Amino acid sequence: MAGALFREDPLTRVTETKALVEEILDDIDGDEHRDRRVPHGFTVISSVAEMTPSYFPEGAEHIEVKLRIEVPVIFSARNSHAVLPAKRENLNGLRVWIEQELVDRATRLELSGWDVLPTRDPDPKAKRDDLDLMWTVDAVIRER
């Protein structure tokens, strides 16, 4: 599919680029060793691909795939209780893995944005309706 990125039809390029990014994420999620690098996995909430203006060369366009991903918050533990700081190894592992897959499988694509919310570690003792706390990652993958 990587060769398909060179097609002339912009709609086809957008569709195929989005499909490639989704395939990479599915392969990461389904990898038998995923929990070593991304403990407790992740969930892709949304994936949107579009043509966007490129500043160089002037008047050109490139494809961006905007992702929203949820990744579980993993707290440190002390005396069998969750404590701060929250661990970010799963976030870092996912980011590195995505970057490596792009290098290996889609050399024309790169991870150009990675914003994680909340910016501060959540309080492990705060009352919540939902026991599963998540980091929300807004990532952008774009053509080089």
- Model pLDDT for residues 9-58, shown as the tens digit of each residue: 878 999 999 999 999 999 999 999 999 999 999 999 999 999 998 877 77
Sheet with 43-53: strands ordered across: 43-53, 61-72, 134-143, 109-117
- Which pTM was predicted? 0.86
pLDDT for residue 139: 98
- Chain centroid to Cα 94, Å, comes to 7
Domain boundary assignment for the chain? 2-143
The rounded distance, in Å, linking the Cα atoms of 16 and 142 is 13
- Fold of domain 2-143: Alpha-Beta Plaits (3.30.70)
Higher pLDDT, 97 or 5: 97
Higher pLDDT, 104 or 3: 104
- Rg of the chain in Å (alpha carbons): 17
**Predicted confidence (pLDDT) at residue 5 exceeds the cutoff of 80:** no
